[in-house]
A and B are shown apart, each in its own frame.
Chain A
Amino acid sequence: MTEREKFLKIARFELKGELFLPSCWQWFWNGTLERWRGEGLPGDVHIREYFGFDRMDYFPIDLSSTVPSIPPFDIKTLEEDATHKVIIDGDGVKKKIFKEQRESSMDQWIEYPVRDRKTWQKYKKRLNPHSPARYPLWWEKEKGRYKERDYPLGILVGGFFGWMRNWIGIENLSYLLVDDIALIKEIEEYTEYFIVETIKPVLKEIQFDFALFWEDMAYNKGSLVSMEFVKKYMVPHYKRVTDLLHSNGIDVITLDSDGNVWELIPFWLECGINGIIPNEVAAGMDVVAMRKRFGKNLIIGGGIDKRALSKGKKEVEEEVMKKVPSLLKDGGYFPGIDHSVPPDAPLENYLYYLKLIREIGS
Chain B
Amino acid sequence: MPTARTPRRPIRWHIAVFLAPAVLIYTAIMIIPLFGTLNLSLFTRGEGGTREFNGLANFATLFGDPRWSGAFWNATWNNLWFFIIHMLVQNPIGIALAAILSSPRLRFAAFYRTAIFIPAILSFVIVGFVWKLILSPLWGVAPTFMDTLGIGNWFAPWLGLERSALTTLALISVWQFVGIPLMLIYAALLSIPDEVLEAAEMDGITGASQFWKIKLPLILPTIGIISILTFVGNFNAFDLIYVTQGALAGPNYATDILGSFLFRTFFGFQLQLGDPHMGATVATVMFFIILAGVSLYLFGVQTRLRRYQF
The answer to whether A binds B is no
Which residue numbers of B lie inside 8 Å of A, CB to CB? none
Which residue numbers of A lie inside 8 Å of B, CB to CB? none
